[in-house]
Amino acid sequence: MNTQSHSSNRIPILCTLLFLVLLSGCAINMKVPVRELEPSTAQYVKPASSAPVTLFFTDGRSADNKGALITGRIPMQLTSADKPFDAIPWLATHTAKEMVARGLPVELGTDASGPHTVIVKRFHIENRRVSGFSPFETFTSASADVVTPAGTQRIATFIKRGKVPIWSFNEVIDPTYSDPLDLTAKEFAAKLARILFDAKLSDSQVDALVVKTSGANVNYRDVYELGFSNNPRAIPQLINLSANKDDEVHQAAFSSLGILRDSQHFDLLVTKAQDSKSDWEDRAAALKGIGDLGTAESEAYLQKEKARLETLTDAESMRTKQLIGLYLN
């Protein structure tokens, strides 16, 4: 009797395991359609003297990066509008759309010798899944040199997202591919808005975001929006949110402190980046924030970390070196 009961209990367990194996296998080389992105509705305030800008995006990626847009555990094929995903035109189009939606006089040009050129150095998505029971995760990163009449500045993005598929692997596409790509274009737009127009959200818009992110259930995208505001008025709230227990929220807060170039809290970012008790994703968000500061102190810290990790080949060290490379290479 006990033997029969034990055998019958094993059947649903085996069926569940088989389903998870099949679910994971169905993802191999599957097409991943990136959804059409929705531009922001909040508009920037800019100096009245702001002249229109024609942006030129060029592809400065290495041959290896061009040939391996997606790496990791599961091979996938990104598509956009039913066509193979073309990273640089996609980034250019959606960055420009976001800037226009925020009220900035921007258009895309075709002559790469123009005075406002964005040279994309890297665009990469790594996926990771430890087992059929763990989240499917992506690490989406990009970097570019922005060439202006006043000089060249490096900008970079790094976003980690994860989702456990329940019934279909299609469930992970928006959270782990479309969402981070959307944030990548919006972060590019915010940083270009600062560099080219000194544009930012108004104090009242930031205050509304502070109220929105002060409740019990904070949406991590609203935390990024505080960073995309380009307004230092958001910094105190981001400091508060950096202690939030939700991983997505405090990681977005650390990243956003860097987007706002909050060098006054450099020590806070370093403390988190060096916290061996924290998850790597938390330390990476703080390290990304350090890279975004763009100061001599932050660059010296990245150089020091790069030297420390030079001979290490474990997965975490390799991923950290790639993150640092967004700013130094």
**Of the candidates 199, 234, 253, which is a domain's last residue?**
199
Q: Is residue 13 part of a domain?
A: no
**Residues 27 and 116 both lie in one domain:** yes
Residue ranges of the chain with per-residue pLDDT less than 50: 1-8, 11-26
Q: What pTM value is reported for the model?
A: 0.90
**Residues 291 and 265 both lie in one domain:** yes
Q: Is residue 222 part of a domain?
A: yes
**Residues 153 and 215 both lie in one domain:** no
Residue 260 burial (C-beta neighbours within 10 Å; 0-12, 13-18, 19+)? buried
**Residues 50 and 156 both lie in one domain:** yes
Q: Is residue 234 part of a domain?
A: yes
**Residues 123 and 253 both lie in one domain:** no
| Residue 325 vs residues 64, 159, 296, 307: alpha-carbon distances, Å | 15, 15, 16, 12
**Residues 30 and 94 both lie in one domain:** yes
Q: Is residue 8 part of a domain?
A: no
Q: Is residue 11 part of a domain?
A: no
- Predicted confidence at residue 17, as pLDDT, reads 39
Q: Is residue 12 part of a domain?
A: no
Q: Which of 316, 288, 295 is nearest to 184 (CA)?
A: 288
Q: Is residue 14 part of a domain?
A: no
- pLDDT, tens digit, for every residue of 272-303? 999 999 999 999 999 999 999 999 999 999 99
**Of the candidates 199, 231, 249, which is a domain's last residue?**
199
- Predicted confidence at residue 50, as pLDDT, reads 86
> How far, rounded to the nearest angstrom, does the alpha carbon of residue 253 sit from its chain's CA centroid?
12
**Residues 117 and 175 both lie in one domain:** yes
Rounded CA-CA distance 268/276 in Å is 14
Structural domain span for residue 323: 201-329
- Predicted confidence at residue 27, as pLDDT, reads 55
Rounded CA-CA distance 21/7 in Å is 21
- Predicted confidence at residue 140, as pLDDT, reads 97
**Residues 172 and 321 both lie in one domain:** no
CATH of the domain at 114: 3.30.160.150
CATH of the domain at 235: 1.25.10.10
Q: Which of 207, 237, 233 is nearest to 223 (CA)?
A: 237
Give the SS3 label for residue 277: coil
**Residues 195 and 208 both lie in one domain:** no
Give the SS3 label for residue 47: coil
DSSP 8-state secondary structure symbol assigned to residue 175: I
Q: Is residue 27 part of a domain?
A: yes
- Predicted confidence at residue 236, as pLDDT, reads 98
**Residues 171 and 29 both lie in one domain:** yes
- Predicted confidence at residue 170, as pLDDT, reads 82
**Residues 290 and 243 both lie in one domain:** yes
Rounded CA-CA distance 315/317 in Å is 6
Domain count, the chain: 2
**Residues 123 and 208 both lie in one domain:** no
- Predicted confidence at residue 78, as pLDDT, reads 93
**Of the candidates 151, 181, 199, which is a domain's last residue?**
199
